[in-house]
Homo-oligomer: A and B are copies of this chain.
Amino acid sequence: MDSGKIAALLKSVYEREIEPGEAMESLKDLPFKDMGFACIDHHRVLRKGFPEVIFCQNKTPEQVVSIAVSQISQEETVFGTRASKDTLDQVEKNIPGAEIDREASLFWRKSRFWEPKENTKGTVLVCSAGTADSAVARETVRTLDILGHPSEELFDVGVAGIHRLLARRELLLQASVIIVVAGMEGALASVVTGLVACPVIGVPTSVGYGSHLNGLVPLFSMLNCCSSGLTVVNVDNGFGAACAAAAMNTK
């Protein structure tokens, strides 16, 4: 939090190198400027050492590329989510070394300073119910990777064939945090939470039709889960789930 700067300032006053009035001017904004919360938009929560994240949804391809170029010039890791096809095309053309995951609508480029987190509790397990949920699941997995947390995927373990899930119980029991990505009625989150003791995060997806209400049904379903220990993020918010899981997975 750089209290060092304030200490230095106070010392200068003590040493009479600068006058109280001048010091007061400097102090006015310091506490805020140096606080280092570093959050600009809803992706910027990621702390120092973590890359700045570009939430591309309401930005033009040009804006995205220009932010990325500027970050790279400062040797930062770049990570862009919810990027349109157009944006990804522009990134591909203009950002050498960028890796692109079109299914998950994101791209990234790790800087040479990037390295995995050391103080993690274990592995984050990302379960998804069907292939239809895989775009959100991949956003989750990619974000965890960028955040430096190890993850494992368990795909296609829907409740309609509960035995498939039960067969992987060991995997479930070894995870330090579990993220369940599920659309339709979202029952997978309830069943998984009933099987484990670690924290479980539910990510409802907007996959479905009819009275699915664009994901509100699995969202409410998870919120009313009869197994305790489940918490929930917004519909399709794989990124947010990964950030929360990273917080939980930090010793």
Contacts and interface: CB of A to CB of B under 8 A. Distances in A.
Contacts of A47: 197
A231 B231 contact: yes
A24 B37 contact: no
Contact of A224 (B13, B21, B41, B184): B184
Given A160-B226, A185-B223, 5 more contacts: A185-B226, A200-B247, A204-B210, A210-B224, A230-B244
Interface string A9-46: 01101101001110110010101110111111111111
Interface stretch (A68-76, A91-99, A106-114, A211-219): A211-219
A216 to B, nearest CB: 6
A29 to B, nearest CB: 5
A185 B184 contact: no
Instruction: Report the contact-size class of chain A (Cβ under 8 Å from the partner).
Output: 35 or more
Contacts of A184: 42, 224-226
Interface of A: 1, 3, 6-7, 10-11, 13-14, 16, 19-21, 23-24, 27, 29, 31-33, 35-47, 55, 57-59, 82, 121, 129-132, 156, 158-164, 166-167, 169-170, 184-187, 190-191, 193-195, 197-201, 204, 206-213, 215-237, 239-241, 243-244, 247-248, 250-251
Contact of A16 (B14, B195, B212, B232): B14
